[in-house]
Amino acid sequence: MSEIAVVAGGRAAWRDAPDTRRVLQLALAGLWLLDALLQYQPMMFSRAFGQSLAATADGNPGFIARPITWDATLIQQHAVALNVVFATIQLLLGLGIAFRPTVRLALAASVAWAVGVWWFGEGLGGVLTGTASPVTGAPGAAILYALLAVLLWPARAVDTRAARSLWLVLWLGLAWLALQPANRAPWALHDTLAGMENGGPGRMAALERDAATLIGGHGLAVSIVLAAAFTLVAVGVYLPRPAAVTTLVLAIAIAGVIWAVGEKFGMILAGGATDPNSGPLLALLALAYWPARTAPGEAGRP
Amino acid sequence: MPPALILDAFAAVMLAVAAVSAARLAAARPWRRGETVADIDIAHLLMAIAMNGMLTGSLRTIPVVAWESALSVLLAWLVFRAARDVRASGLRTLPAVHLVHGAAMLYMFLAAAQPSRYPALAYAFALILAGYAVWDLDRLSAGRPSAVTAGCRTAMGVTMAFMLIVMA
């Protein structure tokens, strides 16, 4: 088993950066900044934003759904004022992580904010509804922001064992979601992708259409393949370095496919997106788990 | 468009950038022989004033056509400067970012006249500018570049990215 670079404080082999953790922190800061800018879009200042949040309550247990409905109603009533606050908080999180003296404060605040958004804005990513699909963004982008903030904490918030456990839980969770009845039904994935054709440039719609046609009624087979790939990625961080690297590359490739096909690049070009969805975050997470470079003379040590 | 409060806040930031850039230009005393003026301060001053006019109608200065011409000249100068830097010291990030600033500014004026032209380009510009703003802020807080210039560049990058996404 190899050491994880950002957790161990070492250098990842993928880059000769002086501080891998800092580079990944800056990527996280960039994503928060992008979220803030998307949150400033004109549509977010209308009642439509609150209505889209209210929709995430559907299918959730009552104790999860009721606060979402309350929150969404409040946002619809005070759409402008609250959205100014939301967007500005995210702007400050992005700038705060990028600015070295405030990185700890901003990372800590980002965990609290991300967990709040995961519940009140994403309905826990739909993981309790039985219909959430990893292909379309489950378990929700917000919780991945929180996970990244914990992993990239400047002073090792978690040890290697805990970090690996979090990775295992995340990817086994994705495998479990892929095999849920709503996702493994023969035409489920086809219908999901076909339903995403509208919105965005024509080439993206063509990509969705082609992917839906390719999958057709083979939803069960695709779900099994996805679950197997997710499981392989999940256990990959426990393998020796070369195998771990291979599974992390696989994780990045899966994240890319999910982002392009299932998430339509976060629907950013279609307008109305508040974040780039889970694809870029899964890829960033994979980079955060990149094994540390073995120092000369360490090879072969127990 | 977003509420006036947000547009005014970004306009205030751009006014501050314009004021700082003007102060730096005055401090450089260009009227004295042998003094050099930082062209980037001129670029920041021009772009900050132009963005102010776009963000708040009451701060409009010259007609759009005049801005398009001025920004075209500025972009041509930044292209020349970047090419000269590449020849002298190879490919570097900073001149390229100034180039992106200039191109994004011109794009915004052209897109304002003809909405929905190449929205993907607006997002591409916004991503580059936001990414570099984050990088700049990190370097600034590590005490590497000139804090004033990097601060102005960060503020301009974030404001420009905001405007591009709102316009897209």
**Residues A278-298: pLDDT tens digits?**
999 999 999 999 998 765 544
**Across residues B12-31, what is the average pLDDT?**
89
Whether the bond between A181 and the residue before it is cis, its omega within 30 degrees of 0, is no
pLDDT in tens, A52-74: 999 999 999 999 999 999 999 99
Contacts of A130 (CB under 8 A, 6+ apart): A59, A180, A181, A182
Instruction: Check residue A123 and report its DSSP letter.
Output: G
Cβ proximity of B163 and B129 under 8 Å: no
Amino acid at A145: Y
From B9, B20, B1, B10, select the one nearest B152 (Cα to Cα). Answer: B20
pLDDT tens profile A179-202: 999 999 999 999 999 888 776 677
Q: Is A47 on the interface with B (CB under 8 A)?
A: no
CB-nearest partner of B2 from A45, A95, A271: A45
Q: Which residues pair with A12 in a beta bridge?
A: A292
Among A140, A135, A255, A273, which Cα is nearest to A195's? A135
- Bridge partners, A4 (sequence order): A291
A34, A42, A101 ranked by CB distance to B130: nearest: A34
Mutate to test the interface with B, among A24, A39, A40, A88 (most CBs of B within 10 A): A40
A33-57 mean pLDDT: 95
Q: What is the pTM of this model?
A: 0.91
CA of A93: which chain B residue's CA is closest?
A: B134
Q: Does B115 touch chain A (CB under 8 A)?
A: no
Helix (H, G, I), strand (E, B) or coil at A291: strand
CA-to-CA dists, residue A166 to A78, A104, A136, A162, B164, angstroms = 37, 21, 21, 6, 37
For the CA atoms of chain B, what is the radius of gyration? 16
Q: Does A138 reach chain B within 8 Å, measured CB to CB?
A: no
Q: Look at B127 and A101 and tell me if their CB atoms are within 8 Å.
A: no
* pLDDT value at residue A300: 39
DSSP, collapsed to helix, strand or coil, labels residue A4 as strand
Contact residues, chain B, for A42 at CB < 8 Å: 1-2, 166
This model of the complex carries an ipTM of 0.90
How much of chain A exceeds pLDDT 70, in percent? 91
Q: How far apart are CA B128 and CA B97, in angstroms?
A: 8
- Give the residue carrying structure tokens 């005014």: B8
